[in-house]
Amino acid sequence: MNKIILTIGILFYLVTCKVPSERQVIEAIGSGPVPDSEVMAGIYEKVKTPYKFGVVLKEEGKKVDCPSVFRHGDKWYMTYIIFDGTGYESAIAESDDLVHWRKLGKILQFSKGRWDDLQKAGYIALQDFTWGGSYEIEKFKGKYWMSYVGGKLSGYETDPLSIGIAWTDDPSEPREWNKLDDPVLSGSQPDARTFEQMTLYKSNIIHDPEKRLGYPYIMYYNAKSEHAYERITMAVSKNMTDWIRYGHEPLIDNGSGISGDPQITRIGDVYVMFYFGAFYRPKAFDTFACSYDLVNWNKWEGEDLIYPSEPWDSTYAHKPWVIKHKDIVYHYYCAVGDQGRVIALATSEQLN
């Protein structure tokens, strides 16, 4: 890839006597996905987790969902969401070994008089997304950040839902995060694209210091319009609070089913988006897509990373958060089966 970019740069200079911008290089390449089947297969070999460890976190009598795992200080932390029959709240747990988790408490709770009173489903932002990296979350303006799905109506993901932003000075503490007064993205905004004019779901915000798209912060999220299915799209920002939709079409669209819960990592010069699919094939499962430019993505068509196969995930095995630490890949996911809706773990090596 680097040789291709260098060659394009030299040709551009010879023709125009100008040094090309990164955007011009991407446009010259034409396609930003990763079309090489060998590269895609190589990524699969790096990220696959064939060994299912089992359930690592559950709440008796409640449903849990959407793990986000990060490093802070000398411990690992997981934010996750809880559904008690009323709506979503968010909580945090800690671990010394990425396997055994201790629940600490809630960080986004029900409120009164806000747009998000009965729905607050949070996802950690600005994590080091280098494959095998530190997985620490960085500060912006002296604060740690998260995005969250918010809404005012009770029930399980009751439409409409929008995306809010929250922050704290200590992400390891089980206390309420500060929140902006209004959503930063919603389906009712004038610039909402036709495929996202009802509900916006889980988001993953990364920091791109190279500003490949002209902005340092990029948000990936899934959304739907009325009577339609969820697709993955993106927005960009200069300050974490004002967001601009990027592009006119979805990034990931699998037809008549759900594509959701994107998580971005970078393996060498390849960006990898983990996400889940549901109902365009039986049940729900985790897979991935690859890109060289953060905008154009090629979907993996091979074996799913996670799919229903055990009693605890016999209905759904989906909603990924995948990291690599000390040569072991840890794939956290939402499992629905004989233990209800819980957080489960699969790994690249046998742990038990």
What is the rounded average pLDDT of the residues 151-169? 98
Q: What is the pLDDT of residues 233-290, one digit of tens each?
A: 999 999 999 999 999 999 999 999 999 999 999 999 999 999 999 999 999 999 999 9
What is the rounded average pLDDT of the residues 314-333? 98
Statement: residue 101 has pLDDT above 80:
yes
Q: How confident is the model at residue 55 (pLDDT cuts 50, 70, 90)?
A: very high
**Which tokens hold the place of 223?**
């959304």
Helix and strand tally (H, E) in the chain?
Answer: 3, 20
What per-residue confidence (pLDDT) applies to 228? 92
What per-residue confidence (pLDDT) applies to 227? 87
CATH topology for 33-347 is: Tachylectin-2; Chain A (2.115.10)
What per-residue confidence (pLDDT) applies to 35? 86
Residue 153 to residue 150: CA distance in whole angstroms? 9
Q: Among candidates 289, 285, 286, which has minimal Cα distance to 299? A: 289
Q: Which tops the pLDDT comparison, 44 or 1?
A: 44
| Cβ–Cβ < 8 Å for 123, 146 | yes
What per-residue confidence (pLDDT) applies to 6? 40
What per-residue confidence (pLDDT) applies to 185? 98
Query: Position 31: which residue type?
Result: S
Give percent helix, percent strand, percent coil of the chain, each to the nearest 5. Answer: 10, 45, 45
| Cβ–Cβ < 8 Å for 335, 55 | yes
What per-residue confidence (pLDDT) applies to 21? 40
What per-residue confidence (pLDDT) applies to 24? 41
Please state, in angstroms and as integers, the Cα–Cα distance from residue 233 to each residue in 195, 220, 240, 314, following that order: 9, 6, 17, 29
Q: How confident is the model at residue 32 (pLDDT cuts 50, 70, 90)?
A: confident
What is the rounded average pLDDT of the residues 41-45? 98
pTM score, two decimals?
0.91
What per-residue confidence (pLDDT) applies to 271? 98
Statement: residue 334 has pLDDT above 70:
yes
Query: Position 209: which residue type?
Result: P
> Domain extents for the chain?
1-30, 33-347
